[in-house]
Structure 1
C-alpha cells in the first residue's frame, strides 16, 4: 500500500444494523406502495403516467405495482449474496419511473397531495435519495467499490 492510499474501514456492527433496517424499511415501503397501485391509489398513480407514454395508464400502474411488490419482497427476502444485485435493480427501477414524476411537475398534475409546483418540484429531489437508499441499504455501492478496488478492468466488464 502506498502512502496516501485510502482503505475503507470494515463495516461496524451498528452500520450493518442500520443498513438492514434501511433495506427492510425500503422493502416494506415498496411492497405497500405496490399494493396501493393495485387498490386504493390506482387513479392517483394513473395521473403520474406521462401522456406521451405509449401504453394504457391503467396497465402501466398495474405493471409497476406488481414490480414494486416484487422488488419490495426481494429487498425483504434476498440472501446476502444477492442483495447487491437487488439493490441495483431497485435503483434502476427508481430511475425508470422518474419521468413520471417529471411529467407530474411539467403538466401540473395534482396527485398525492402535491397540489403546487413547489411541492411537485420538492418531490423530485426525493427520487435520487431513493436511488442512493437502495444502493446503500443493500451494500450495492460498497460491493461495486470493492470490485473496482480489486480489479477495475474486470469489475467494469461484468
Structure 2
C-alpha cells in the first residue's frame, strides 16, 4: 500500500478514534458486556458472550493500531471501516428487535443511532488517508 500523507487534523482524529476503540474494547470485557450482548443478533451461530469477547479483541487491536501503527494507517483505516460494516447488523438487530442497550430505550433513539455508523466508517477512512488512497485507486 502506498504511503499517504495526512494532515495534523487527520492524525488527531485518527488517534481520537483509536482511543474510542480502546475504550469500547475495555467495555466489551468489563462494565458494558451485557449492553454489547444485547446487540448480537439471534441468528449469529455462536454464543453472544463469545461474540462480544471476540469483537472486543478486534476493537482493542484496531484501536491500538489506529494510535500506534501510523506506518500502516491506510490499511488499518480500511480494516476498521470494514469492521464497522461487519458489526452494523448488530445495530440493526437492536433496532428491529427493540432491545434496550447503551441508553437507547426507544425505537427512535435506536433508529437515529443507525445513521452514525456511516459517520464512523467515513471517520476511519478519512483520518487514516484511506479515503484518499481509495479514491486515487478508483481514478
Shared fold (TM-score, shorter chain, > 0.5): yes
In the alignment, structure 2 segments of 5+ residues that lack a partner are none
Task: Give yes or no for the alignment of 1:91 onto 2:101.
Answer: no
SS at match of 1:129: helix
**Aligned-residue offset at 1:18:** 1.0
SS at match of 2:105: coil
Deviations 1:100-147 (A, max 9, x none): 000000000000000000000000000010000000000001012223
Kindly name which structure, 1 or 2, has the bigger radius of gyration based on alpha carbons.
1
Task: Give yes or no for the alignment of 1:57 onto 2:48.
Answer: yes
In the alignment, structure 1 segments of 5+ residues that lack a partner are 1-10, 150-158
| Cα distance in 2 between the residues matched to 1:101 and 1:24 | 24
SS at match of 1:69: helix
| Cα distance in 2 between the residues matched to 1:124 and 1:140 | 23
Runs of 4+ that moved beyond 6 A? none
**Aligned-residue offset at 1:17:** 1.2
| Cα distance in 1 between the residues matched to 2:75 and 2:93 | 29
Query: What is the count of residue pairs matched by the alignment?
Result: 135
Q: CA RMSD in A?
A: 1.2
Give the structure-2-normalised TM-score: 0.93
**Aligned-residue offset at 1:78:** 1.2
Higher relative contact order at CA 8 Å, sep ≥6: structure 1 or structure 2? Answer: 2
Which residue, 7, 13, 28 being the options, matches 1:16? 7
| Cα distance in 2 between the residues matched to 1:52 and 1:37 | 20
| Cα distance in 1 between the residues matched to 2:96 and 2:62 | 28
